Chain A
Amino acid sequence: MNLFFLALGFGVVTASVLALASVGLSLQFGVTNFVNFAYGAYLAFGMFFTYTLDVTAHVPFWLAAVVATLLTGLVSVVVDRLVIEPFVRRRTSPFFLLIVTFGLQLVLLNVIQAVWGVGFESFTTGTGTPLHLGPFSITGDQLGIVVLAVVAMVLVHLLLTRTTLGKSMRAMSDDSSLAKVSGIDTGRVTMWTWFVSGCLAGLGGITLALNTVSFQAYTGNTFLFVIFAAVILGGIGQIYGAMLGALCIGLAVELSGLWIPGAYKLDVAFGVLVLALLLRPQGLIATVGKA
């Protein structure tokens, strides 16, 4: 029973990391209607901006993380403006945009390696001693990840339901042309969407790095398939679906560690995805036609 609660605790932590990253990816897809295959590199930006501020510039870790999150959002906007928007303006098909972001992933990861090197790094926070909360046993860092994810999810919910910007995002997600003729400044909403998506990717990267302790340029990219599993499970473009998908995948991955060797646990994410594709393929195909 102790092992079960231990795994459950880790599951909630993994789900939290996943939720941050998945909601960012799904939000951007919902509004712009194409998938960003370069998303793994945005996680790396979050990690390495934090690393530079925390380790090199000796800024307090929490402040480094906040600044890094905002910087990643900025990178996301700049990359969109410089690389992706020109394609969108030419009415490039979602399929070609997929290839553009697939190539972009390589460009961004190489830029990250050129700036920060290819080695493994870690933050100054250290692993810390485990805290015992009832039957659970997690480190302070991990508790922080869970709290951060919950706060971020509540903020995303408030953004989408209480603000004009969030309502505009939802309107564009439902029908972009209708949103435009209704007087919504779609260019501005798109820009803010990339910013929020980038911030969430940054947070996902920072929390992922905290959870895995050491990281390098490809850490986020390697985790990308788990993020996609969560996003697809929840229905791509569905924000609350992504949260639910993250919770399912996170718990499934960590709880599976009770029965199968831990080395394979991430592959449970693929298993869950395949199961979802088999059980309700029609529901999953519905949003987008043939590329």
Chain B
Amino acid sequence: MAVAIGAGALALARPGSLDTLLLYAVLAQSWNLIGGLAGYASFGQVVFFGVGGYLTALAMVRLGLSFYLAMPLGGLGAALFGLAVGDLVLRVRGLYFAVATLVLAGATKAVLSSWPGLAGPSGVLTITTVGLHQPTARPGPLGFDAVYLALAAVSTAGVSVLVRSRLGDSLAVIRDDEDLAGALGIAVRPAKVAAFSLSGALAGLAGGVYAFQVTALSPAVLFAPLLSVVMVAAVVAGGAGVLGPLRGAVLLWLLSAGVGSLAPELRDVLVASLIVAVVLVEEGR
């Protein structure tokens, strides 16, 4: 563990490696909104990342919009998607919610994989970054770091405002005892759907930036299982609240950067194993 963290610290020196940390931070705050604050553990949160990513790319490729307009549109689209499906999946709690969200992500990925008009015959949607037709000049590594940093800051500020708000209070009661919340006259369903939709917006925005960063998009890229797992694990490892998800993101990033630099080909296996180990440590406390 110490070796991994040490190697991770070394990776800090490499320019452009911060993007992964900041991406993890945004995703952790996204999961925090629904899994941490509302107590609804979503195992399909990656669906918002995918929807936001595809919408951003489509707005850039089909409509020729600037990235800086397309990304907020992607986030908005993901939020609306959360609004539309939230009312359905949030009717069930606990294990059933976990499975329902997993099924939602799987089904959405299946639609996007087989949508004839979405990408060319290759199944890969590409954002043009060279030539005259590129909608926005692609920022360098530091540019992406800056966008992710802004997103992470906005997410964290948003969460800290939210926990102090009326909605935050409602969510806290819902998390502790949903039936009590209903009895107290809290509008339970709108509060839950709002949290789900906001969490969707954050993941959707992150998906938009990621889409522009990788440019060649397929469902396998935007619905990567690793991201799914990282979102859940960051909050479980770091705790909910405002700063907990950031702690979790840092921990997971240090571990993944560490094992990644030691054994790149085994990165996913090791990260996943470490996540299991982190859960073990958390449970033991």
The verdict on B225 contacting chain A, using a C-beta distance below 8 Å, is yes
B279 touches A229 (CB 8 A): no
Contact in complex: B269, A111 (CB < 8 Å)? yes
The 3 closest A-B pairs by CB, nearest first: A225-B106, A263-B114, A270-B107
Q: Closest CB-CB distance, A249 to chain B, in whole Å?
A: 11
A264→B114 contact, CB < 8 A: yes
* A57 adjacent to chain B (CB < 8 Å): no
Majority secondary structure of chain B interface residues (helix, strand, loop or mixed): helix
| Residues 265-291 of chain A, each 1 if its beta carbon lies under 8 Å from chain B, else 0 | 011011001100110010011001111
Which chain B residues lie closer than 8 Å to A107 at the CB level? 269, 272-273, 276
- Pick from A96, A222, A236: contact of B110, CB under 8 Å: A222
Residues of B near A109 (CB, < 8 A) are 225
Number of interface residues of B (CB under 8 A): 50
Complex Cα–Cα for A170 and B55 (A): 48
Whether A133 is near chain B, meaning CB under 8 Å from some CB there, is: no
Give the docked Cα–Cα distance between A218 and B41 (Å): 24
| Contact between chains at B107 and A104 (CB < 8 Å) | no
Return the contact of B98 from the options A98, A104, A218 (Cβ within 8 A). Answer: A98
Known A90-B284, A95-B41, A99-B233; contact A291-B95, beta-carbon cutoff 8 A: yes
Answer whether A225 and B107 are a contact pair too, CB < 8 Å, given A95-B41, A99-B232.
yes
**B269 surroundings in chain A (CB, below 8 A):** 106-107, 110-111, 114
B106 touches A222 (CB 8 A): yes
Interface residues of A (CB under 8 A from B): 35, 37, 83, 86-87, 90, 92-96, 98-100, 102-107, 109-111, 114, 218, 221-222, 224-226, 228-229, 232, 236, 261, 263-264, 266-267, 269-270, 273-274, 277-278, 281, 284-285, 288-291
Q: Contact at A270–B94, with CB atoms within 8 Å?
A: no
Q: Evaluate contact between A228 and B91: CB separation under 8 angstroms.
A: no
Considering the complex, give the chain A residue whose CB is closest to the CB of B228.
A102
Q: Which of B106, B276, B284 has a CB less than 8 Å from the CB of A224? A: B106
- B228-285 residues at the A interface, CB under 8 angstroms: 228-229, 232-233, 236, 265-266, 268-269, 271-273, 275-276, 279-280, 282-284
Residues of chain A with a CB closer than 8 A to B178's CB? 290
Listed A/B pairs (23) with beta-carbon separation below 8 Å: A35-B95, A37-B102, A96-B279, A98-B43, A99-B275, A103-B229, A103-B279, A106-B226, A114-B266, A222-B109, A225-B102, A232-B99, A232-B103, A261-B116, A267-B110, A281-B92, A285-B96, A288-B94, A288-B95, A289-B93, A290-B94, A291-B41, A291-B93
